[in-house]
Structure 1
């Protein structure tokens, strides 16, 4: 069964202008690279369905949606700020992004595909009645709500963006059917200022919010150590029916908006690990999206092409040269290889703790906060 990509050129029009971090080209450059490497040939590529406003209303308030439809600055709803300027057809394009993620969820839930992706999605900061962090409609939350309405018993959401997945966590904080897991740079240093380990879920849903807040400068070895020390345990304990993941690649060392130091190779390793966990725990049912990422030419297209290749079942070797024609499109910034040549080995937390390590302190804080709620031994 082929993996599925939900894509049309309209989805690449979600942008806030050339002088904004969420500039044009992130999705289009990815699609071009994936096409030239033959990745798209190994996927079923289908367009998003027509917008169903009732699905948007399952997460977002009517007056907020009406404000987005008007496309005018509105301080009450966070529209028209420096971070979140209005742009032409903002509602139509944002709603279509949400529909693309819902379509990925529908394809997996109905068994049409085991794996489905919307790299245009991953807008995890949007709240029910406000835009935030370049995110207008929370496509992830809308897709999760669709899955729950369709009868899915438990949904696990894992967010590897450098910023905390605050919108998805907030929307499902009191819902025991949804586990949100976020690995991010510590909110003591970075927007949105949430995602501390002590945020573990609301009344009746204790243990279903899991936050790993990593120190600035965390590299591949530290990040993968933290992932391995927490994510498999909590997912196995929760036993989700479906896994949905957000793959913001702004954790890369070259990203201008944050201070983690991952390589393309480290990010690719996390995608492979999540695919394996979906296979192990969810019978292979895996929905993935894009997210943040502001090294627009050097990082984003390669990262999401790796994601799509994994969705297709045929990962791309990091030593693969980038195509000549694609480099000509991108210009002098275009990287020569699909990887950064980094070693992604790491020492497992289970094999020994270093109390002086800030990464291990972050791991310990998360395990102390949430493991008892899940009936797990924190292991120290």
Structure 2
């Protein structure tokens, strides 16, 4: 393993912008533009920090993760006018037009570009060119070897993990902070002792994909290298962060990773329309801070961060991903954010992006004024239930 004297890199997401199902789909690339726009308005992202979305071996990495028949169907459905035979196979592979992950022209090229960006981030870190790398276009954690799922065509996170293990012999800790269980990544490495998958998410009793329970712990030689913390609906900051930090502190002591890969879906926020967790922007300040510390304490600083879900495109995603990059770079702005209850002001003109979906009022501060929020009436019950589940989840760790 090598270490680096250079700064963190931001993988160019412009090619990931072509990963676009249709204008009304919740997984819309405007999220990427908004996050970059906010950071540039703050003076926190410059051209010399941006690395190209370029890596070798993308097709090989796809073949490590996905079955040949699935790859072939994706390519066929990516044509401007797919054959009737390919269209007839769409449902079998999770790509039906009225589903969550509909096929679209150029789909294979767009999804492969997402994978390439995550491989570029992995290569930057593992080669020692950068201590940390961020690819916000990545984090498509629901895709399976034989089908798409949950807006995800190819599993870039799994491809990057496999790539680091095969090329560098690295033990990889995967941390999934999306409100939906990181099922695709988990099942790819469920029997692999060299990859530890950790996911904190709203319980699958109520939310897609319906998995990620505390008794899912790995199998065969991979038993003990999978940990899930499914939290209750309407979980708030304190309980979410307690579960997150207690789990990770145990995991890193037990597993001792060579590199951390983290997926930063930001849909556990109270404003997100696709889930029921009631957290604020505070968790998106605190989670990267802890991951950053653990990367330096246990993995010689090696940290690859990916994007993920997040469906309040204007109010939540830019701030959450902005806080992630500020933490990765140790930006001086963090001192002011941490010193203020609301995190301090955002730039008054932070986005010039024009859209019919732009809200009349945009956030004015980095963090939320939770004092103005209606408190959850079952807070103590929810916290107690989350602690019970956490205790069960941690039983198999030393």
Give the Cα separation in 2 of the matches to 1:242 and 1:339.
29
Alignment partner for residue 233 of structure 1, among 250, 265, 269? 250
- Is residue 21 from structure 1 mapped to residue 26 from structure 2 by the alignment? yes
Deviation at 1:59, TM superposition (A): 0.5
**Which aligned pairs between 1:243-322 and structure 2 lie closer than 5 A?**
243-314=260-331, 316=334, 317=337, 319-322=343-346
- Is residue 68 from structure 1 mapped to residue 83 from structure 2 by the alignment? no
- Is residue 57 from structure 1 mapped to residue 63 from structure 2 by the alignment? yes
Question: Does structure 2 conserve the Cα–Cα contact (< 8 Å) formed by 1:5 and 1:43?
Answer: no
Deviation at 1:331, TM superposition (A): 5.3
Deviation at 1:43, TM superposition (A): 6.4
Question: Does structure 1 conserve the Cα–Cα contact (< 8 Å) formed by 2:94 and 2:148?
Answer: yes
Q: Secondary structure of 2:350's match?
A: helix
Partner of 1:126: 143
Provide, for residues 193-214 of structure 1, a one-character-per-residue CA deviation record: whole Å limited to 9, x for no partner. 1000000011111111100010
Deviation at 1:370, TM superposition (A): 4.1
Deviation at 1:333, TM superposition (A): 3.5
Alignment partner for residue 361 of structure 1, among 385, 388, 398? 385
Q: Secondary structure of 1:258's match?
A: coil
Give the Cα separation in 2 of the matches to 1:282 and 1:42.
28
Pair 268,43 (structure 1): closer, same or farther in 2 beyond 3 Å: farther
Give the Cα separation in 2 of the matches to 1:220 and 1:42.
34
Question: Does structure 1 conserve the Cα–Cα contact (< 8 Å) formed by 2:232 and 2:385?
Answer: no
Partner of 1:198: 215
Partner of 1:349: none
Q: TM-score, normalised by structure 2?
A: 0.87
Q: Which one is further off, 330-339 or 237-246?
A: 330-339
Partner of 2:107: 90
Partner of 2:164: 147
Partner of 1:347: none
Give the Cα separation in 2 of the matches to 1:42 and 1:177.
35
Deviation at 1:364, TM superposition (A): 3.2
Deviation at 1:37, TM superposition (A): 1.1
Give the Cα separation in 2 of the matches to 1:118 and 1:209.
24
Give the Cα separation in 1 of the matches to 2:33 and 2:18.
9
Deviation at 1:328, TM superposition (A): 4.6
Pair 165,357 (structure 1): closer, same or farther in 2 beyond 3 Å: same
Provide, for residues 250-287 of structure 1, a one-character-per-residue CA deviation record: whole Å limited to 9, x for no partner. 00000000000111122211111111111111111100
Partner of 1:214: 231
Deviation at 1:361, TM superposition (A): 3.1
Partner of 2:176: 159
- Is residue 79 from structure 1 mapped to residue 95 from structure 2 by the alignment? yes
Pair 360,277 (structure 1): closer, same or farther in 2 beyond 3 Å: farther
**What is the aligned length?**
362
Give the Cα separation in 2 of the matches to 1:207 and 1:125.
21
Question: Does structure 2 conserve the Cα–Cα contact (< 8 Å) formed by 1:27 and 1:119?
Answer: yes
Provide, for residues 4-60 of structure 1, a one-character-per-residue CA deviation record: whole Å limited to 9, x for no partner. 111142212222222111124011111111111112128620111167311111101
Pair 186,143 (structure 1): closer, same or farther in 2 beyond 3 Å: same
Question: Does structure 2 conserve the Cα–Cα contact (< 8 Å) formed by 1:327 and 1:335?
Answer: no
Q: Secondary structure of 1:40's match?
A: coil
Deviation at 1:122, TM superposition (A): 0.4
Question: Does structure 1 conserve the Cα–Cα contact (< 8 Å) formed by 2:34 and 2:351?
Answer: no
For structure 1, the 5+ residue unaligned runs are 344-355
Alignment partner for residue 340 of structure 1, among 330, 351, 368? 368
Partner of 2:241: 224
Over the residues paired in the alignment, what is the CA RMSD in angstroms? 1.8
Deviation at 1:338, TM superposition (A): 1.7
Question: Does structure 2 conserve the Cα–Cα contact (< 8 Å) formed by 1:152 and 1:241?
Answer: no
Give the Cα separation in 2 of the matches to 1:369 and 1:339.
30
